Amino acid sequence: MSSALFIIDVQNDFTEGGALGVDGGAAVAAGISRYLDEHPDRYDVVFASRDWHDGANDNGGHFATAEDPDYVTTWPVHCVAGTPGAEYHPDLDTSDVDVHIRKGQGKPAYSIFEGETPEGVPLRDVLAERDVTEVDVVGIATDYCVRASALDALHEGKRVRVLTDLVAGVAPTTSTAALDELREAGVEIAHT
């Protein structure tokens, strides 16, 4: 039995100045790095996910191309594989990351569980191989990919915590609603 940290989508396009930047994104990147520096042995394995969208198509309707985005199911072009926007924020120290997960390759994807390693190994297989039973979730955005990843981890039978001082959301109202939903589902809402 082992513990894992899920670092969700701390990418340039989701931080200030990016295509879908959220307030506090850069602070989350720096905070996660500081937290891992201060607790180097806290986790048996550290995962980091990234949206890694195709640039030549609308990724299954995820990118708004014919109409304005609705910011619920359709979005501006973001995190296209190989572009600066898809890279991790420079304040996130990725030397602590053991497993990198790419998601959204040609399709909408919010949860880290919809992703795979660069070698094509699904996250679930890596978790089983490492016997992960407990997961802490941090990153961006509280009300979308953090929420989806935490719920999926819970549905996979993991003990799940969301560390609220290391997340940033799109909007305060939807972020609060997401944390309330997670708490009601059985996710522990905690602070580092």
Active site residues: 9, 103, 145
| CB distance 45 to 98 below 8 Å | yes
DSSP letter assigned to residue 119: T
From residue 20, how far is each of 17, 73, 148, 190 by CA, in Å?
8, 13, 18, 26
Question: Under a CB-based contact definition with an 8 Å cutoff, are residues 62 and 75 in contact?
Answer: yes
| 70: Cα within 13 Å, side-chain hemisphere | 6
Residues 87/140/32/23 CA torsion (nearest 10 deg): 100
| Amino acid symbol at 43 | Y
